[in-house]
Structure formats: structure tokens, C-alpha cells
Amino acid sequence: GQNIDQPTEMTATEGAIVQINCTYQTSGFNGLFWYQQHAGEAPTFLSYNVLDGLEEKGRFSSFLSRSKGYSYLLLKELQMKDSASYLCAVLDSNYQLIWGAGTKLIIKP
Amino acid sequence: IAGITQAPTSQILAAGRRMTLRCTQDMRHNAMYWYRQDLGLGLRLIHYSNTAGTTGKGEVPDGYSVSRANTDDFPLTLASAVPSQTSVYFCASSDRDNTDTQYFGPGTRLTVL
């Protein structure tokens, strides 16, 4: 079966750095996405990785290792507004998105 | 403002009633999707459409139907609602380009009693 694993919940301090991990087992791979979802709102696109390595976009970076079936989202200089759920999703060989359950990130002052 | 709209925002429905959730996008995206999101579970695909005139079943299609008469609209119908269909429903669309990034509507919160 297809599976995406990510921690259920993480807590971090304002101004700090946090890394949210995602491991996946899917039938084929055509890219990995990270989305941010604030409570009661729709998911919004953060990043897309299809090649191994680190993609940096401002305070957010996303890393991919295809051989290890592993990705992480790195958030720097955390702000209170970063409190949200972060969803990892993989585009499989049929171009269907397989979603993880999401990681709820709690930022404390 | 370009994007995806969904209606209604929320709805309380008696079991056995028929309900259509509406979704409209103005980005001229080829593909559209319906997901449900339940606490503790990832987004689960109900139905999708790769282009106008075609539809396909996702992971949890039972009890739901869709149509795609044109590029912009993708309604989701619950023929006879049951309490297990209580959920938040998101519509999304993508351009089917090389990244196939999906963009989401604001969601419909549906409660079936």
C-alpha cells in the first residue's frame, strides 16, 4: 500500500528553527509537495521537490532524498503566524496526490 | 480575483436528504478534485476530473457523484446523505503542468444528522 508518515504534533519556540519530517512509500514518484493549513482554512501550497536536494524559499526550505523516501520542511525564525498544520503529499505514478495526515505545529512565545 | 469558490460555506443536513456542493474555478485549470478531510486523517480523494467531460473515482467515492460539464464547474452530489459523510469538503484544481500543483477552495463544512 501507499503510505505517508509525518509526526502528529510538534512544539517550537518563537524565533527558533523547526524541522518537520516526512517519509513515504508510494507506487512511483513524480514529486513531493508541502502545504500549510491554518485551522479552519484551506491548504495553501508551500513547496514542490522532484529532484534530490534542498530548495530554499525565504524562511522555509524543503529537502528531498528520493533514495531514502524522505523529505523535511525547515522553518526558520519562527513566527506565531507559523502555527498551523503542515501537510506532506506525494504525486504517485498515476499522478494522484497521496496525502499525509499532517503535522500540527504549535509555536510558543 | 482568480481562484476557486465553494458553496455553501457550511450546511447541516438531515440524513437521507440529497445535497450538491458547488465548486467553480476561474483559472482555466484542466483538472479538478474533490477531497474530504476528517480529524486525524489526511485529505482523501473522492472524485476527480482530468478535463471537462471526464471524471474518475478516487479513494472514497461511494455515496458521491460528480459531473464536469465545462472547465469551470465541478459539483459534488450526495444522493442520500448519511452521518458518516459529516466532514469538511475541499475542492481543488490544477493545471496538469509538469508540477501539477493543486490549489484549494475555502471548503464546505457539512454536518449530517
Span between the terminal Cα atoms of chain A, in Å: 40
Chain B nearest-CA residue for A49: B99
pLDDT of residue B105: 97
| Side chain identity, residue A86 | Y
Cβ pair B90:A91 closer than 8 A: no
pLDDT of residue B39: 87
The dihedral formed by the CA atoms of B107, B105, A6 and B83, expressed in degrees to the nearest 10: 30
**If you average pLDDT over residues A2-14, what whole number do you get?**
95
DSSP labels, B5-59: EEE-SEEEE-TT--EEEEEEE-S--SEEEEEEE-TTS--EEEEEESSTT--EE-S
Percent of chain A with pLDDT over 70: 100
pLDDT of residue B98: 60
Taking 70 as the pLDDT cut, the residues of chain B under it are: 1-2, 97-98
pLDDT of residue B97: 66
Cβ pair B42:A42 closer than 8 A: no
pLDDT of residue B95: 87
C-alpha cell, A78: 519562527
CB B81 within 8 A of CB B89: no
Considering only CB atoms, which chain A residues are within 8 Å of B90?
42-43
User: Quick one: how many helices (H) and strands (E) in chain B?
Assistant: 0, 11
Cβ pair A31:B58 closer than 8 A: no
**If you average pLDDT over residues A79-105, what whole number do you get?**
94
pLDDT of residue A2: 84
What CA–CA distance (Å, rounded) separates A3 from A5?
A: 7
pLDDT of residue B96: 72
CB A90 within 8 A of CB A32: yes
| A54 has a pLDDT exceeding 90 | yes
**If you average pLDDT over residues A27-55, what whole number do you get?**
95
**If you average pLDDT over residues A82-104, what whole number do you get?**
93
Cβ pair B40:A101 closer than 8 A: yes
pLDDT of residue A74: 98
Cβ pair A101:B42 closer than 8 A: yes
Considering only CB atoms, which chain A residues are within 8 Å of B100?
30-31, 91, 95
pLDDT of residue B100: 78
State the nearest Cα–Cα gap between B43 and chain A, in angstroms: 6
What CA–CA distance (Å, rounded) separates A72 from A62?
A: 6
C-alpha cell, A64: 528531498
Nearest to B94 by CA among B48, B37, B39: B48
pLDDT tens for B76-105 read: 999 999 999 999 999 999 987 667 789 999
Write the burial class of residue B40 (CB in 10 Å: 0-12 exposed, 13-18 middle, 19+ buried). exposed
